[in-house]
Each structure stands twice: as C-alpha cells, then as structure tokens.
Amino acid sequence: MPTPPPNAPYWTYMIPLVALALVILRSRRARRLRIETLWIMPVVILALVGLSFSQQATPSPLMLAAYITALAIGALLGWWRARFTHITVDRATHQLTSQASPLGVLLILAIFALRYGIRMFASENASAMHVSVNAVADVALIITVGLVCAQRLEIALRASRLLNEAKAGATSA
C-alpha cells in the first residue's frame, strides 16, 4: 500500500489504523485452534508472492541477499510472536484454543510502525539508495512471508506437542 501524500485526506490514514485495530481486537480473545488448517495461510501467501515474483526480472545478487535476510528476519519475528501465543488444551475434549498475548500484540504494532516508517523513508530516498520502491516493497513482502510461515509452524509444533501430552495423560489416568 503506497504512503499517502502529505496533503491527502485524513481518511487515507485511518484505513490502515482501523484494520490494525480490528486485528488487535480479534487477537484479544481466545479462538479455537485447528492444527489441520494452519498450513492454509502460508501456502496462500507463498503462492501469491511466488506469482508476484514470477512476473519480475531475476533479482541482482544484492537484492537476493536482501530477500534472504528479510526472510530470516521475518521468520525470527514470526517465531518470537508465536512464542507469546498462549495455547490451551481442554483435557476432556482435547480442543485447542489460542490467544495472543499483549506482548505479541505490541510486536504487531511495532512491525506495523517499522514497516510504515521504512516505506516512508524508501519512497522519499529510493533514488539516493539506488534501489526502487518496488524492491523495498518486495523486501517488506518477504518479511511478511517469513513471519506468517514461521509463526504458523511454531504454533503447529507447540499445539501438536500439547495435544499429544493431553492425550497421553488421558490414557494413563
């Protein structure tokens, strides 16, 4: 999403803030967690990003290094955010629920602010940095890919372990 110009109407700034507020409100309550569906969002995102990159020229070695670094940063942030997700197992029904912690919500706010700041900086200084604004947007996109994939993987691994422990405890009791 491009940065609104300085003379843009106030509502152009409100749309991302409203979307962010909805994400925060949604993450405040416990939700049912289905391990079997955690793979869907990473596959969709990987397919869309792959389609986007298939329409571009081959990246330079420097941009490829930037993409790999962005993927690692995104994966680290995703793993870190998933570590703050509280997962519970109902011992009777073995139903899983997850709830984001306040620290995980703060991490999303920080990522949003950092991404917005980088986008503003890049749009104003892209020519001085000798990169295109599209390249900066691609890096931000790859950070998102790493974040979503690593977060879902970490949650799936933790939830599976907790569910297996609950089932093992139910059979031995």
Per-residue pLDDT reduced to its tens digit, 53-100: 888 888 888 889 999 999 999 999 999 989 989 999 998 899 999 988
CA distances from 9 to 12, 13, 41, 120, 153 (A): 6, 8, 33, 17, 40
Check whether 1 has a pLDDT greater than 50.
no
pLDDT in tens, 109-122: 777 777 777 777 77
- How far, in Å, CA of 50 to CA of 134, rounded? 15
Contact 150, 81 (CB under 8 A): no
Distance of CA 157 to the CA centre of its chain: 17
- How many C-beta neighbours within 10 Å does residue 152 have? 20
- How many C-beta neighbours within 10 Å does residue 55 have? 6
Degrees (nearest 5) of the Cα angle 58, 66, 24? 115
pLDDT in tens, 32-49: 999 999 999 999 999 999
Assign 106 a pLDDT band (cuts: 50, 70, 90): confident
pLDDT in tens, 127-156: 777 777 777 778 888 998 999 999 999 999
Alpha helices in 28-132 (DSSP H): 40-54, 61-83, 102-129
- Name the residue with tokens 């200084």: 125
Assign 163 a pLDDT band (cuts: 50, 70, 90): very high
- How far, in Å, CA of 116 to CA of 173, rounded? 52
